[in-house]
Amino acid sequence: MKLNFERLIVDTEPQHCLFTSEAYVVLTKAGLTVAADVIVKKVTRTVERTLLISPQSLSQPLVERMANNSFKLSGIEVWVYKSGGDRSAKYCVED
């Protein structure tokens, strides 16, 4: 379980993410949740972050992509963003 991590905050701005780990458990203020490490590719640099992948609108598209990647999360490269500005907006995942 990972206790200290820098979380990737996803908003309406698309983020280009390369998954570098398999899913694991992290401890947040709300309790235990599922996460994975990603490299976020920006125009001038890359940053390593932890992405919480427990929301169904995020996890379901990732599971579908894992089926085409030997059932592994690492190595999957996608664009991730939220469909709206409110907290309950669904995640969008695109190749």
Domains of the chain, by residue range, sit at 15-94
Pairing of strands 24-28, 91-94: unpaired
The rounded mean pLDDT for the chain is 94
| Amino acid (1-letter code) at residue 70 | S
Q: CB–CB of 26/50 below 8 Å? A: yes
pLDDT for 11: 95
List, for the chain, all residue ranges whose pLDDT scores fall below the cut of 50: none
Pairing of strands 91-94, 77-82: antiparallel
pTM: predicted TM-score of the whole model, two decimal places: 0.92
Half-sphere exposure (Cβ direction) of 59: Cα atoms closer than 13 Å: 12
Residue 7 DSSP class: B
- Write the pLDDT tens digit of every residue in 19-45: 999 999 999 888 999 999 999 998 899
| Amino acid (1-letter code) at residue 5 | F
pLDDT for 87: 87
